[in-house]
Amino acid sequence: MDHSSKTQTEEMASLVETWLGNPATRKILSKVAVGPYNMRRMERILKLYGWDTGNALGLKERIVGKMVRGVIGQVVNKTGITEDNIKSNMKVGYWRKGLVSTLAGIGLWGPQKPFTSYAPFLVVWNSTNACNLHCRHCYQSAISRPTPDELTTAERLKVVDRLADEGVAYISLSGGEPLMRHDFFEVAERIRQRNMGLALATNGTMLTAAGAKRLAELGCSFVQVSLDGTGQTHDKFRGLDGTFDKTLKGIKNAVDAGLSTEVAMTVTSQNLDEVMEVIDITESLGAGTFMHYNFIPAGRGKEIMNKDLSPQQRESLLEKLATEGEKRNINVLSTAPQFSRVCMGGKHSISSLTHFDSIGQDQQWADEVEFLAEFVGGCGGGRLYCGLQPNGDIIPCVFLPEVLGNIRYNSLVDVWQNSDFLAKMRRRDAFKGQCSQCDYVKVCGGCRARAFGYFNDVQGPDPGCVRNATSWDELEKKVEKDSVHLL
Ligand code: SF4
Ligand code: SF4
């Protein structure tokens, strides 16, 4: 487990909680943290707090800085976190950007549970529609060549600059297969130069030892490699014989380069029986995290929705994953937001705030994480994260292809703050089915992409949850009536 990132996340959460509880701080935040100018100033101040004195500060900034230090001092006293730790975390660009976006979000919208950041913390950027494989469940319906409308290298570099200027903390390069882009490392380098976090989501087959080493040198904090089963099952899912061995090699290259590596498995009824074996493989290869990817009927995935797990199958899988998470030396996570509910249900000693958080996997931190669960809020689509398409289209989540604008012409923050679609997605009290009455709606929220994929309604019920079993049954009846069998 990566203890340094755990400590960073925990400390950031403690800071935010303390600020939230103080009305005077909130009022000040709305004046000093909201807006691009204030956010840049706040970032410089946090940088100074880290004793990186590269930027000379003016009088006003020194005053705000004094206030920031005062509040941080209170946090240090209350939590017992060491000041040295906070100072060193604030030297990390994406940590500073993430904290500023959180504070500005609270200043703008107030202390909501779950909260929405001022700008997306994370943008998952589908860099290209091209892929060297042809996976059955590909949400992007990737093909062998890039599409003609994809952003050029010059445009992509400009996009990185814009995202940095607009307050995005972290970019994950995905696809298609992002390593198919000839400008992959040029863009990755620009992300590093702009002090944002960098991650890669890949099928692993093109991840050479040299490429992994270069990623490590660029400070890539995280590599996710998809593995959908053992041997032939993986090859069948991925549409090409021999893929399994190449994928394993890619994972090994990432691990050997010292990259924090995650194995991601999209689980359907076709590979459900192989989950434990893939967890074993993850552990034996030295990767730090196994991630169950929730199946979502998007892209080519729509063609195999009859292979989706039933709510009962998913629930039993999530229970097993929570048990494995307690036993194993790796993180065992799920993108199904119901995993938070399962972990919090009283049977397990680990927690899960959301699918890109792992601090609750450590049993000694699980309780401390739980008090933050409603704040972090499960599904982060359109609230903490959004997707970007190869042609610049802005979407709420890579599995939810509703076009909200285009980065060529629109400001991301403007779209993020003013989109009616995102406003609907964030209104959990308006969700349908059991989600609206569920006592876990703030910590889970259901997968909005699944609600959209199955019901064409972003506020619909997530039919993957046992609490929404009636919605699943209705869906089955409807699909059967239309002569398509869901199961
Ligand atoms: S809609 Fe939410 S839960 Fe579903 S994939 Fe997107 S971020 Fe994850
Ligand atoms: S009913 Fe909805 S909010 Fe409640 S646990 Fe299930 S998916 Fe999550």
HEC sequence for 241-297: CCHHHHHHHHHHHHHHCCCCEEEEEEECCCCHHHHHHHHHHHHHHCCCEEEEEECCC
Two tokens, residue 115: 């909260």
HSE-up of 438 (CA within 13 Å, CB side)? 24
Given ligand 1 and candidates 379, 385, 426, 465, which is best to mutate, with the most ligand atoms within 8 Å of its CB? 379
Stated as kind and residue range, the H or E segment containing 53 is none
Q: Look at residue 163 and tell me whether its pLDDT is greater than 50.
A: yes
Two tokens, residue 461: 């019920």
| Spacing, Cα 90 to ligand 2 middle (Å) | 36
Q: Residue 394 and residue 43: Cα distance in Å, rounded?
A: 25
Which ligand lies nearest to the CA atom of residue 399 in the structure? 1
Per-residue pLDDT at 486: 44
| Spacing, Cα 57 to ligand 1 middle (Å) | 40
Which atom of ligand 1 is least distant from the CA of 398? Answer: 6
Q: Which residues contact 58 (CB under 8 A, 6 or more apart)?
A: none
Q: Please work out whether the CB of residue 444 comes within 6 Å of at least one atom of ligand 2.
A: yes
Per-residue pLDDT at 1: 34
Which residue's CA is the closest to the ligand 2 atom numbered 7? Answer: 446
Do 260 and 221 contact (CB within 8 A), yes or no?
yes
Two tokens, residue 74: 């209170």
Do 15 and 98 contact (CB within 8 A), yes or no?
no
**What's the pLDDT tens digit per position in 438-470?**
999 999 999 999 999 999 999 999 999 999 999
Which atom of ligand 2 is least distant from the CA of 438? Answer: 4
Task: Residue 271: count other Cβ atoms within 10 Å of its Cβ.
Answer: 21
Mean pLDDT of the chain: 86
Q: Torsions phi, psi of 170, nearest 5?
A: -145, 135
Q: pLDDT-derived band of residue 87, with 50, 70 and 90 as boundaries?
A: confident
Given ligand 2 and candidates 309, 342, 435, 470, which is best to mutate, with the most ligand atoms within 8 Å of its CB? 435
Q: Please work out whether the CB of residue 468 comes within 6 Å of at least one atom of ligand 2.
A: yes
Q: Please work out whether the CB of residue 448 comes within 6 Å of at least one atom of ligand 2.
A: no
Query: Average pLDDT for residues 304-310, to the nearest whole number?
Result: 90
Given ligand 2 and candidates 296, 334, 338, which is best to mutate, with the most ligand atoms within 8 Å of its CB? 338
Q: Please work out whether the CB of residue 228 comes within 6 Å of at least one atom of ligand 2.
A: no
Q: pLDDT-derived band of residue 400, with 50, 70 and 90 as boundaries?
A: very high
Which residue's CA is the closest to the ligand 2 atom numbered 1? Answer: 435
Do 82 and 76 contact (CB within 8 A), yes or no?
yes
| Spacing, Cα 417 to ligand 2 middle (Å) | 25
Q: Look at residue 2 and tell me whether its pLDDT is greater than 60.
A: no
What's the count of helices (H) and strands (E) in the chain, helices before strands?
A: 20, 10
Query: Average pLDDT for residues 78-104, to the nearest whole number?
Result: 79
Residue of 35 and 177 predicted with greater confidence: 177
Two tokens, residue 265: 């498995």
Considering only 284-293, 357-366, 388-397, which range has the smallest mean pLDDT? Answer: 357-366
Q: Please work out whether the CB of residue 435 comes within 6 Å of at least one atom of ligand 2.
A: yes
**What's the pLDDT tens digit per position in 28-80?**
777 777 888 888 888 888 887 665 555 556 777 777 777 766 766 665 665 55
Per-residue pLDDT at 278: 97
Q: Residue 45 and residue 116: Cα distance in Å, rounded?
A: 23
Q: Which of 162, 189, 169 is nearest to 408 (CA)?
A: 162
Query: Average pLDDT for residues 232-259, to the nearest whole number?
Result: 92
Which atom of ligand 1 is least distant from the CA of 450? Answer: 4
Q: Which of 29-38, 83-92, 212-221 has the highest mean pLDDT?
A: 212-221
HSE-up of 303 (CA within 13 Å, CB side)? 10
Query: Average pLDDT for residues 322-345, to the nearest whole number?
Result: 92
Which atom of ligand 2 is least distant from the CA of 445? Answer: 3
Mutual angle of helices 36-49 and 23-32, in 10-degree steps = 110
Two tokens, residue 385: 């994260």
Which ligand lies nearest to the CA atom of residue 468 in the structure? 2
Per-residue pLDDT at 241: 86
Residue that is written with structure tokens 């009290």 in the block: 429
Query: Average pLDDT for residues 469-484, to the nearest whole number?
Result: 77
Per-residue pLDDT at 313: 97
Which ligand lies nearest to the CA atom of residue 122 in the structure? 1
| Spacing, Cα 445 to ligand 2 middle (Å) | 6
Per-residue pLDDT at 485: 45
Which atom of ligand 2 is least distant from the CA of 465? Answer: 6
Which residue's CA is the closest to the ligand 2 atom numbered 6? Answer: 465
Which residue's CA is the closest to the ligand 2 atom numbered 2? Answer: 435
Q: Which residues contact 386 (CB under 8 A, 6 or more apart)?
A: 120, 123, 124, 394, 395, 396, 397, 404, 412, 416
Two tokens, residue 318: 């999530």
Given ligand 2 and candidates 438, 454, 472, which is best to mutate, with the most ligand atoms within 8 Å of its CB? 438
**CA pseudo-torsion sign 388, 392, 396, 400:** negative
Which residue's CA is the closest to the ligand 1 atom numbered 2? Answer: 379
